[in-house]
Chain A
Amino acid sequence: MNITLPEAEPLYQAWAGQVRPLLSANTRVVGIRTGGVWLAERLVAPEPVGALDISFYRDDFDRIGLHPQVKPSALPFELDGADVLLIDDVLYTGRTLRAAVNALFDYGRPARIRLAVLIDRGGRELPFQADVVGWRGELPAETHVALGRDEAGHFCLTLGQQHEGYRDA
């Protein structure tokens, strides 16, 4: 099957243009590690962003265990009553989002959470939808999409095979 993903940089620029109207002075931007944090940082730089690691909240821990290099979440602002914009690179099954929302509530009770993703690849298993989507497409289950970032900070998108025993969420 031949799948062509869009060029990452123009895609980011168009996506950022859609996301900016959602930002107000009270918006707290939180990226999901790792790709979501890159997007969030570039979007609102030099403003600080929150970085959420969902490893401790995954629902497949029983099967795959813990990755030893979990970076702690860092949320440099209060979440109680906050207007949160959650950012991730790829939206797939929705399980990452379920974990992310659970994790956020351990830090406080946001007034609202919205979601912006660069890519929505279909295949949802949970009822999560994004408020902003950069590119939408149905990708077969065996493919793996990853956002990369080079030293200059430019994004790239790569399409590969799923790792055995590990499934994107």
Chain B
Amino acid sequence: MLDHAGGQIDGDGRLRHLLTLQGLPRETLLAVLDTAASFVSIGEREVKKVPLLRGKTIFNLFFEPSTRTRTTFEIAAKRLSADVISLNVQSSSQSKGETMLDTVQNLEAMNADMFVVRHAASGAAHFIARHVRSHISVVNAGDGRHAHPTQGLLDMFTIRHFKGDFAPLRVAIVGDVLHSRVARSEIHALRTLGVREIRVVAPKTLLPSGIEELGVRVFHDMTEGLRGVDVVMMLRLQNERMKGSLLPSAGEYFKNYGLTAAKLALAAPDAIVMHPGPMNRGVEIDSAVADGPQAVILPQVTFGIAVRMAVMSMLAGGQS
């Protein structure tokens, strides 16, 4: 099943779907980053639009709410001149009892060219990719705890932008790794791109068992985990996790795993701080750090548009 990177790459080496970064070759990741670099300048022009995907129809299928990811996919599609329609499926057809596949087939009948899918269930985008017609591409915009490949790619773009080469970097991923599709995509990409060291920093209750098998070093003490790192990638602590037995309280979590200026001082002096958003200020990150000179959280958002433009144009190009 994992031949051609899980069906994401066709026999000619062309990207057909983007579902997960796991198994994608280094050349493919670098091709996305290089293509994205050329799209950054379009966002800085007065006319922020190129005619590359003119006449293509892209459906953003969000079975789970999201503002930022949906918005950046929409902007990316519009800057490529595609027609983009965003559907919040939760609040429409699903509540009327339509299955996911029915929804997809109806949109296929409207001559869709691409689906961007966000779903609370792991594997949803893969499922859709297996059932769509062969000319349609699927982009996973986050499936359950499994993967969020465009977030992983925009994080890699951000790291390369600020740090240049991946090889010498020590990277710490801090927070709720257990529930985080972002963390999984980041770890796969960082491994493929060959950073010197990947650390995960989290309490035992927020780490999946066997995480070491992904090639990461595990730290439960944040002061140790951050020592000397070049990149600090914070994860969002989802509020609903606080209600269960996984964590004592937000205050306790902040004390142990919140990123403060004092803890950041243990990292390399020029370390960058990243966060996929939306941030819980005072829970996983202190405002002084989030707004401080080492934070690159807003550039992540800007680069996210260019990376999504790159992915969509690579999927749509050369198909006919």
Contacts and interface: CB of A to CB of B under 8 A. Distances in A.
A61 interface: yes
A62 B45 contact: no
B319 interface: yes
Contact of B317 (A64, A69, A71, A108): A64
A66 B314 contact: yes
Interface stretch (B48-56, B137-145, B268-276): B48-56
A71 B40 CA distance: 11
A56 B51 contact: yes
B31 A72 contact: no
A66 B34 contact: no
A71 B38 contact: yes
A66 B34 CA distance: 11
Contacts of A65: 14, 314, 317-318
A11 to B, nearest CB: 32
A57 B51 CA distance: 6
Contacts of A61: 52, 313, 317-318
A68 B51 contact: no
Contacts, number: 55
Nearest to B53: A61
A63 interface: yes
Interface residues of A, number: 21
Contacts of A56: 42, 50-52
B74 to A, nearest CB: 19
Contact of B41 (A57, A63, A72): A72
B35 interface: yes
Contacts of B239: none
A102 interface: yes
Interface of A: 53, 55-57, 61-66, 68-74, 102, 106-108
Question: Lowest 10 CB-CB distances: which A-B pairs, in order?
Answer: A65-B318, A65-B317, A72-B41, A56-B50, A70-B38, A106-B47, A68-B31, A62-B320, A68-B34, A68-B35
Interface of B: 14, 31, 34-35, 37-38, 40-42, 45-47, 49-52, 313-314, 317-320
15 contacts: A55-B38, A56-B42, A57-B52, A61-B313, A61-B317, A62-B318, A63-B318, A64-B317, A65-B318, A66-B313, A68-B35, A69-B38, A72-B42, A73-B41, A106-B45
